[in-house]
Amino acid sequence: MGILLWIIQSFLNATWMVLTKKIVENKKIWNNLQTLFNRWYHLSIIWVLFIIWIFDYDLIDAKLDINDFLLLLIATIWLYITYPLRRTAYANEKVSTLQPYAMLFQVFPIIIGFIFITSERANVITFLSAITASVIVIATSIDYKKIKFNKYSLMVLASSTIKSFQVFAVLYFLTKLNPASFYFTETIVVVSISIILITIKKEFSEIKLLTKKYLKLLLFTNSIVIVSILLALTMYSTLWVVLTSLLSLLYLGFIYILWYFILKEIPSKKDIFVTLLIAVCIVIWVLFKN
């Protein structure tokens, strides 16, 4: 069952990334308004899950103290900062240029988790497989003849760094809350921040820029996003960070497939070779994980 969830989450994550490129091409939509729409829709979906008892809202029984709520607020604010950084970068720069910096999000949590979390050091094979696969992805995603570091690269690098540390706040809360309860609570904070910023900047008038076609794309993408996030949180709560980072690299293989069918981009021989190397790393983990 765990393997099936991993495959489904990887496919959904790949679909999410491909559709995101289409979404950010619409530069007229400002970040706060889009974030409000996205997260409000997520709240609606999770609320339905609570009503039909797929998840229990266990925040009341979690016995979080004031320090926990303060940590949640700080972690969510930092997460919110990554939204405009990534959207601005991907709207103005090629994905191939930004990909190496985005992939650092795979490496940082692996290293930090292995150093500071005792349980993550129990299986060196998992760590070596994860770090090897991540380094392979980053090293091969760089066009060494055209590599450049500009403000958009810096935005994605900053976003990857922030998200890497935010992962460990998520892990902490997943020891106290189920995935849906955590994400529901985090989303309430995100929605509140969005409303405050939109009110201050007087951006509600920009809702007229949301065309019918664009709304359909947002709804479809966010339906995929919410399932992908809940599956990812479930994986983090059971597999923790190093193993989840390794298995999540499977999404690259799905991305190349979706690029071909949706964006009409043919994956290179290098892309296929990298995917095979990642598969080898995962196979090595499967064979020697015990």
DSSP secondary structure string for all residues of 177-216? S-HHHHHHHHHHHHHHHHHHHHHHHT-GGGGGG--HHHHH
pLDDT of residue 71: 92
Q: How far apart are CA 70 and CA 63, in angstroms?
A: 14
Name the percent of the chain lying above pLDDT 90.
7
**pLDDT at residue 178 greater than cutoff 80:** yes
pLDDT higher than threshold 70 for residue 30: no
Mean pLDDT of the chain: 79
Residues across the chain: 290
Q: What is the dihedral of CA 57, 61, 66, 69, to 10 degrees?
A: -20
- Spatial neighbors of 32 by CB under 8 A, at least 6 apart, are 194, 197, 198, 201, 203
State how far Cα 227 lies from the chain centre. Answer: 12
Mean pLDDT of 186-190: 90
Read off the pLDDT of each residue in 17-27 and give the average, rounded to a whole number: 67
* CB-based contact 9:228 (threshold 8 Å): yes
pLDDT over 80 (residue 267): no
Q: Is 252 exposed, middle or buried (0-12, 13-18, 19+ CB in 10 A)?
A: buried
Residue 70 pLDDT more than 90? Answer: yes
Would you state the pLDDT for residue 31?
67
pLDDT for residue 252 is more than 60: yes
- Contact between 75 and 166 (Cβ < 8 Å): yes
Q: Assess whether pLDDT exceeds 60 at residue 85.
A: yes
Sequence-ordered list of residues with C-beta below 8 angstroms from that of 258, at least 6 positions apart, any chain: 14, 15, 18
Average pLDDT value for residue range 36-52 = 81
- pLDDT reading at 243 higher than 80: no
pLDDT of residue 273: 82
Tokens of 207: 């809702």
- pLDDT of 208 > 80? The answer is no
Tokens linked to 9: 């989450």
Question: What ranges in the chain are assigned the alpha helix state H?
Answer: 2-24, 31-51, 66-92, 95-102, 104-116, 124-141, 151-174, 179-201, 212-248, 251-258, 269-288
Q: What is the pLDDT of residue 54?
A: 62
Q: Which residue has the tokens 């599956």?
A: 231
Task: Please tell me the distance from the alpha carbon of residue 125 to that of residue 47, in angstroms, as a whole number.
Answer: 40
Q: Is the pLDDT of residue 77 over 90?
A: yes
The pLDDT of residue 288? 72
Across residues 168-191, what is the average pLDDT? 88
- Residue 290 has a pLDDT of 58
Q: Is the pLDDT of residue 229 over 60?
A: yes
pLDDT classification of 140: cutoffs 50, 70, 90: confident
Distance of CA 98 to the CA centre of its chain: 15
User: Which letter does DSSP use for residue 263 in this model?
Assistant: I
DSSP state of 93: S
DSSP state of 259: I
What is each CA distance from 115 to 102, 181, 237, in whole angstroms? 22, 29, 19
The pLDDT assigned to 237 comes to 80
pLDDT at 3: 60
The yes-or-no verdict on residue 68 having pLDDT over 70 is yes
62 touches 180 (CB < 8 A): no
- Examine the pLDDT at 115 and tell me if it is beyond 90: no
* Range scoring the smallest mean pLDDT among 9-13, 40-44, 162-166: 9-13
Q: Of 270 and 68, which is predicted with more confidence?
A: 68
Query: What's the pLDDT band for 254 if we cut at 50, 70, 90?
Result: confident
- The two most distant CA atoms of the chain are separated, in Å, by 57
Task: Assess contact for 259 and 267: CB atoms under 8 A.
Answer: yes
Q: What percent of the chain has pLDDT over 70?
A: 82
Per-residue pLDDT, averaged over 10-25, amounts to: 73
Dist CA 253 CA 265 (whole Å): 14
Q: How far is CA 164 from CA 105, 127, 245, in A?
A: 6, 16, 11
Question: What is the average per-residue pLDDT within 157-162?
Answer: 90
